[in-house]
Structure 1
């Protein structure tokens, strides 16, 4: 059984489209279809339901998928284990990051590339649930996500920092007084926030609920760039992690206020799959996280 054919099969299951899967594999669609047909002939089972387009996996295909993912990951881990004996790791490091943690990506990638300069890094913006699913499916090597709320299972984690919040309004509009802003004051503004599919929004809703408060935002988005654009246009305000303050530092259109910490903060950290043996790339991610946390302490 060829690993190449298994990789095509796993990619098709992820992309759910023949042309996109072929493009992701860097091959033509006929080559993909031929390799899959050969794999099915070898197993004596049909793995993919198809007519002129992809319909889905058969029962046999769904049963085989996690084993194919695990086999490909084991092969990659074996290569990395041999490779690391000769020096720094090579290849692609795949990192999933929640939007709330995007500002810390630069520090993390710098730390990783300092130790493994021959690596390349692919960063994906994902929700916390997508990160856990992608780690389970061996689609990413590590994630930066929340550690305490909706705690991920079957992972090894290293905390990076504790998340705190700031309130952002447009300069010249309605603004609170000096100093910290309470959640009650926040709830009194017309808001734009992340949608409820994002864990940061669910955490904010929980903090508000603890104060017997709730909000119905005028607008929602899946990232902070869109929220800040709406704030800048005037009329709306938002709440975001304090790590974003550095990205808008000096912007004359933004007024930023710390939100009073009336509840426990949320920890954000690096997670990898809890597997043995641990892929050297996953180990490298944990080591980088520990070095960042130690430097900050």
Structure 2
């Protein structure tokens, strides 16, 4: 039944039989037959369908919760048995908000040195996408905000508190300043993350609290694009300190603390709420706590 539940999860995620089949590397008739067999085994209709996917039935919505749990438990069992035979091994999939990618590198480098049989796949995603990917079992963990928008039930390890920095060129009027107030950004030409990013929503609230209407003439989902516009086009951008220092290292740019708005947000490692976790994921959470305590 596990393979049929995997098919059901794929259809629920993709909301399209063809895409679900492609994601699993099987033909659409094979997937459709598997879903039909699952429905016959459970004695209920799981999916409304005619010529195309029509959504989950109420029974399908309930089954989706169980399917995620059963498939997750099955994968955990496999991981635990592999750990017993081979030690910590496998691949950890982590989705990360763009402003925390440097922390993903710190964690994977440290953990990988201790457990060389564990590989990493690191994906840059929005905070909303990260939670959905965790629910869909598409990633093992995420790095995202802990205290700004609802997370649901997850295991969490706080990593750091964001401190926001203004990034400007050497010709900027702010270049020689030790700090800049958020209020001083009124009328300035800004390059910021897109509005689907939680960091952008935080920045917007800080600007609004300072009475600033942002003149955001460039938006991007890439922090590299943002810093590039500051470097070659004279824009200003706002980034958390850690990623800002990494991206501006060796460039003719200045980082200046932003003052005047009391806004502190914590970023951390999150994982599905499950006791116990797989051995590899539990080791990752433990190592993250150790990293923070040793800072």
Q: TM-score w.r.t. structure 2 length?
A: 0.88
Counterparts of 1:23-172 in structure 2, within 5 Å, are 23-150=22-149, 152-172=151-171
Q: What corresponds to 1:221 in structure 2?
A: 220
CA distance in 1, matches of 2:118, 2:10: 22
Q: Separation in 2 of the partners of 1:172 and 1:134?
A: 42
Q: CA contact under 8 A between 2:188 and 2:215: conserved in structure 1?
A: no
Shift of residue 264, structure 1, vs aligned partner: 4.5
- Residue segments in structure 1 that go unaligned for 5+ positions in a row: none
- The corresponding residue for 2:250 is 250
Cα separation, 2, equivalents of 1:149 and 1:88: 37
Distance 1:121 1:24, change over 3 A: farther
Match of 2:8 in 1: 9
Which structure 2 segments of 5+ residues have no match?
none
1:141, CA displacement in angstroms?
1.6
Q: How many residues of Structure 1 are paired with residues of Structure 2 in the alignment?
A: 294
Conservation of the 8 A alpha-carbon contact between 1:173 and 1:234: no
Matches of residues 206-285 of structure 1 in structure 2 within 5 Å?
206-244=205-243, 245-252=245-252, 254-260=253-259, 262-285=261-284
- 1:191 match: secondary structure: strand
- Look up the match of 1:286: 285
Structure 1 partner of 2:192: 193
- 2:108 touches 2:120 (CA, 8 Å); kept in 1? yes
Shift of 1:184: 1.9
> Over aligned residues, Cα RMSD in angstroms?
2.4
TM-aligned CA deviation for residue 199 of structure 1: 1.5
Question: How far apart are 1:140 and its partner, in Å?
Answer: 2.3
* Aligned mates of 1:228, 1:63 — CA distance in 2: 46
Distance 1:197 1:150 in 2: 13
Contact 1:88 1:115 in 2 (8 A): no
State the SS of the aligned residue for 1:134. Answer: helix
Whether the aligned pair in 2 keeps the contact of 1:142 and 1:285 (CA below 8 Å) is: no
1:132-180 deviations in Å (ceiling 9; x for gaps): 3333343322111112222533222212122212212344455443322
8 Å CA contact 1:93–1:122 kept in 2: the answer is yes
Provide the C-alpha distance between the structure 1 equivalents of 2:260 and 2:115, rounded to a whole number of angstroms: 38
* Aligned residues of 1:70 and 1:138 also touching (Cα < 8 A): no
Please say if residues 93 and 140 of structure 2, whose CA atoms lie closer than 8 Å, have aligned partners that are also in contact. yes
Once residues 40 and 120 of structure 1 are traced to their aligned partners in structure 2, the CA distance between those partners, rounded to angstroms, is 37
Task: Give a deviation string over 1:258-292, Cα, whole Å, max 9, x none.
Answer: 32375243221111223323333331221121122
